[in-house]
Amino acid sequence: MTRKEYEEAIERLNYLTKKYDEGCPEVSDEEWDKLYFECEQYERETGYADPKSPVNTVQFDIKTALKKVTHQGQPMLSLDKTKDINVLTDWVGEEECVVMAKMDGLTLRVTYEEGKLVGAETRGNGIVGEDILHNAMVIPSIPKAISTKKKTVIDGEIICKYDDFEEFSTMYKNPRNFASGSIRLLDSNECSRRNLTFVAWDSITDEANFLDKLATIEKLGFIVVPFEVVDVANIEAQQERMRKACADLNYPIDGLVYRINNTKVWLSKGKTDHAFQGSFAFKFYDEMYETTLLEIEWSMGRTGVITPVAIFEPVEIDGTIVQRASLHNLSIMRETLGTPYVGQKIWVFKANMIIPQIGKAEKMEDVENA
């Protein structure tokens, strides 16, 4: 990568990050991460980092009508990440770590004083987020009161489970976009109809270890993220087990988070402007299978909305035969397939091992220009 290519990549990454934060991602996580890792490698090899690089800084602005909130205490940073199992095992080393599901939604912090819910804010740029307390008050999985009078701050993720997402799938491409847009609604009555779930994964306390934090969070009445103590000797089997457990719960996830259990050791690792160094993310991607489009079928849902459905040559994914996938609406169909035609090559996957999706397609204009 040349310096010019690197600078263009940084500009592209920041644009894509902004679109993601707005709930309108233009590329897959895999494509974003590929560009990110290329920039990270360039910075490591050359020693040069653009001040606007998302490798070291969270880069999106907040452009909504919601009130801005500066995070008190611990900032809400991102995570360093890898898709290389060897890099992950080297990072874990001899430390006792906890592995938990990396929820695919929107990060949220809730605050309690005197046992009452008094604040709820999105991560935003890590320092400043958006005040969404009015919506937090109508989400059943966010307790309105807890049993301790001590000031309590809980971090977690707003998600929409796959089964709850079904009735909205004709309007939104995936549960992440839906959850991100829904929690930002100005109308809490509408938000309350959106079937959102808050899954907690951290508390801002000085407890001796992370497992104690998770136990405390659960006792306070929160849904706690699926987690296990890391088994380094069987790390890949453990990953598959956790992925299956999340699929059974209908949770959308895009990877796993590894965190040092001992709080003092975790704090001693410090942080960059971008990420805490005592935690690490492992990203996985759904494997895509090539097949052939046969036709577009039009299906009417319970609400009377007509939905395009791709019918394709049967393909086996995760032990089941798949031959159809929703295209949600006309706009998404055109974005995904271009002009669909019989014989079109498409690549299919199961989102989080559950919902068949078309990840990409060979478009007619690409064939004609080949």
In this structure, is residue 62 part of a structural domain?
no
Task: Indicate whether 234 and 328 sit together in one domain.
Answer: no
Task: Indicate whether 254 and 127 sit together in one domain.
Answer: yes
Neighbouring residues of 282: CB distance < 8 A, sequence distance ≥ 6: 81, 82, 83, 85, 88, 102, 239, 255, 256, 257, 258
Q: Which two tokens stand for residue 223?
A: 């849904």
Task: Indicate whether 177 and 243 sit together in one domain.
Answer: yes
Q: 113-125: per-residue pLDDT in tens?
A: 999 999 999 998 8
Task: Indicate whether 265 and 300 sit together in one domain.
Answer: no
Distances (CA, A) of 77 to 125, 128, 343: 8, 11, 45
Ranges in the chain, pLDDT < 70 = 20-24, 56-64, 365-370
Task: Indicate whether 322 and 250 sit together in one domain.
Answer: no
In this structure, is residue 52 part of a structural domain?
no
Identify any residues that bridge with 121 across adjacent strands, giving them in sequence order: 109, 131
Task: Indicate whether 307 and 265 sit together in one domain.
Answer: no
* Amino acid, single-letter form, for residue 64: T
State whether residue 149 is helix, strand or coil: coil
Q: How far apart are CA 53 and CA 278, in angstroms?
A: 21
Task: Indicate whether 234 and 273 sit together in one domain.
Answer: yes
Task: Indicate whether 213 and 113 sit together in one domain.
Answer: yes
Backbone angles phi, psi at 97, to 5 degrees: -125, 160
Q: Which of 18, 68, 102, 360 is catalytic?
A: 102
Task: Indicate whether 240 and 362 sit together in one domain.
Answer: no
- Domain with 35, as residue range(s), is 3-46
Q: 62-97: per-residue pLDDT in tens?
A: 445 788 989 887 888 888 888 899 999 999 999 999
- Looking at 240, 267, 283, which one is the last position of a domain? 283
Task: Indicate whether 251 and 345 sit together in one domain.
Answer: no
The predicted structure's pLDDT at residue 59: 44
Helix axis angle for 235-248 and 85-92, nearest 10°, is 100
Task: Indicate whether 271 and 245 sit together in one domain.
Answer: yes
The predicted structure's pLDDT at residue 63: 43
pTM reported for the whole predicted model = 0.78
Neighbouring residues of 86: CB distance < 8 A, sequence distance ≥ 6: none
**Active-site annotation holds for 102:** yes
- Looking at 264, 283, 302, which one is the last position of a domain? 283
Q: Which domain CATH number covers 171?
A: 3.30.470.30
How many independent structural domains does the chain possess?
3
Task: Indicate whether 93 and 221 sit together in one domain.
Answer: yes
The predicted structure's pLDDT at residue 368: 59
In this structure, is residue 231 part of a structural domain?
yes
